[in-house]
């Protein structure tokens, strides 16, 4: 092998291990699942022995009330947590963007909820929501208010509260980083012109942060569709189907009902939904980059 060949092969040698693993354990399985979703597939058979049934799995799901319910629960859960977390996270970042001692402590400790295992988060919150000895009801009792049956009567709300606790810090940290990288000149100019704090937020800070905020929101939204373990430990999807998000429904269909074909079709519906969100994010960043380039170009021409 001469020097020339070595050079041409080098990039492939660097990429090969990662590409191989991803093909073997991501792309091949996804293809396998798409293929399996067109079959009457249960775990006792080898997939090649199963019967091809076309779109039957998909159409059966569309009229399945349990699937519809869990689809709506997923959407309600994801959009609610993301909106609440955006408002709280961005609000706190705007409020706390200043030099206070203790700020770095907050930033450090704020990461904690995201780092801890979701199953442990579920465990603690299940204890705190417990009807008789849970932290919340003990507190309500102590101040003389009626107790709430959190997981029994308000399961979706409880699950949302736990997720907001865990993930608001994510939005907070990213918005704070965005805020601190804003051009000082714009803010100083506004201050000199006598803009009030509120005017600065609405007319300068928020518009300038918008690109980062939208990407952050989309990232969080995609992640909200992945949530599973916290809900599994907190409510197990119940009572009834009230908190059975799609991810949980897929797991149950595959493992309890042993309907792999149907679970595969369900996974594909979820995948399609996420694909749309991801493409939206791509399109947005591309558009944003193009716009930034155009603006810089005009600025240079004028200057």
Partner 1 sequence: MADTTYERQNPAFYALLAVLIFMSIGPVLILLVNSLKLDVDITSGAGGLLFMPTIRNYETALCDILWYEPDHVRFCTIRFGGAFINSIIIALVSTALTLIFGTMAAYALVRFRFMGRDSLSLSTLAVRMIPPAVLLVPVFGLWNNAFCIDDDGVVGGFIRDVFGGRGDVCLAGTHSGIILIYVAMNLPFVIWILQSFIVQVPRSLEEAARVDGAGPFQVFFLVVLPLIKPGLAAAAIFTFRIAWNEYLLASALADRDTMTVPILIVNNASEFDGLGTIMATGMLLAIPPILFTLFASRQIITGMTAGAVKG
What residues numbered 33-62 form the site for partner 1, per CB under 8 A?
Answer: 33, 36, 41, 43, 46-47
Torsion angle of alpha carbons 102, 107, 110, 114, nearest 10°? Answer: -160
Residue (210 or 298) nearer to partner 1, CB: 210
Q: Of these, 2, 5, 132, 185, which contacts partner 1 (CB under 8 A)?
A: 132
In whole angstroms, the minimum distance from the beta carbon of 183 to partner 1 comes to 15
The reply to whether 290 sits near partner 1 by the rule CB under 8 A is no
Residue (43 or 183) nearer to partner 1, CB: 43
Nearest partner of 81 among 178, 153, 172, 157, judged by Cα: 157
Number of chain positions touching partner 1 (CB under 8 A): 102
Residue (204 or 260) nearer to partner 1, CB: 260
* Residues between 151 and 190 that touch partner 1 (CB under 8 A): 165, 169-170, 173-174, 177-178
* Residues between 102 and 121 that touch partner 1 (CB under 8 A): 102-103, 105-113, 115-121
| 155-180 vs 118-128: helix crossing angle, rounded to 10 | 120
Residue (204 or 270) nearer to partner 1, CB: 270
Polymer length in residues for the chain: 303
Extract the tokens encoding 153. 């009567």
In whole angstroms, the minimum distance from the beta carbon of 132 to partner 1 comes to 8
* Residues between 199 and 238 that touch partner 1 (CB under 8 A): 212, 215-216, 218-219, 222, 225-226, 228-229, 232-233
Query: In this chain, which stretch among 26-34, 62-70, 75-83, 293-301 interacts with partner 1, using CB under 8 A?
Result: 26-34
Query: In this chain, which stretch among 25-33, 53-61, 62-70, 294-302 interacts with partner 1, using CB under 8 A?
Result: 25-33
Other Cβ atoms closer than 10 A to 81? 24
CB 189 within 8 A of CB 195: no
The three-state secondary structure class of 117 is coil
The three-state secondary structure class of 146 is coil
What does the alpha-carbon distance between residue 146 and residue 59 come to, in Å, rounded to a whole number?
A: 46
Q: Which burial class, exposed, middle or buried, applies to 282 when counting CB atoms under 10 A from its CB (0-12, 13-18, 19+)?
A: exposed
Extract the tokens encoding 66. 């349990």
């Amino acid at each position: 092998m001469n020097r020339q060949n070595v050079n041409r092969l080098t990039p492939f040698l660097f990429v090969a291990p990662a590409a191989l693993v991803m093909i073997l354990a991501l792309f091949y399985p996804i293809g396998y699942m798409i293929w399996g979703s067109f079959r009457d597939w249960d775990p006792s058979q080898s997939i090649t022995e199963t019967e091809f049934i076309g779109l039957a799995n998909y159409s059966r799901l569309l009229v399945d009330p349990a699937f519809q319910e869990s689809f709506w629960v997923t959407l309600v859960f994801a959009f609610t947590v993301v909106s609440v977390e955006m408002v709280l996270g961005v609000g706190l970042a705007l409020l706390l963007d200043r030099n206070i001692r203790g700020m770095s402590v907050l930033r450090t400790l704020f990461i904690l909820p995201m780092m801890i295992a979701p199953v442990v988060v579920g465990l603690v919150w299940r204890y705190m929501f417990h009807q008789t000895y849970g932290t919340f009801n003990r507190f309500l009792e102590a101040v003389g208010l009626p107790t709430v049956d959190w997981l029994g009567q308000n399961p979706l709300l409880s699950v949302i509260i736990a997720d907001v606790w865990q993930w608001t810090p994510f939005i907070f940290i990213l918005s704070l980083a965005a805020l601190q990288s804003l051009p000082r000149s714009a803010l100083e100019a506004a201050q000199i012109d006598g803009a009030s704090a509120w005017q600065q937020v609405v007319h300068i800070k928020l518009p300038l942060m918008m690109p980062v905020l939208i990407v952050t929101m989309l990232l969080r939204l995609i992640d909200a569709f992945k949530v599973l373990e916290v809900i599994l430990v907190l409510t197990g999807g119940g009572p009834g189907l009230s908190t059975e998000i799609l991810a949980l429904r897929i797991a149950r269909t595959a493992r309890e009902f042993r309907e792999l074909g149907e679970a595969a079709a369900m996974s594909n519906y979820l995948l399609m939904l996420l694909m749309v969100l991801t493409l939206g994010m791509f399109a947005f960043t591309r558009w944003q980059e193009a716009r930034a380039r155009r603006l810089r170009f005009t600025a240079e021409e004028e200057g």
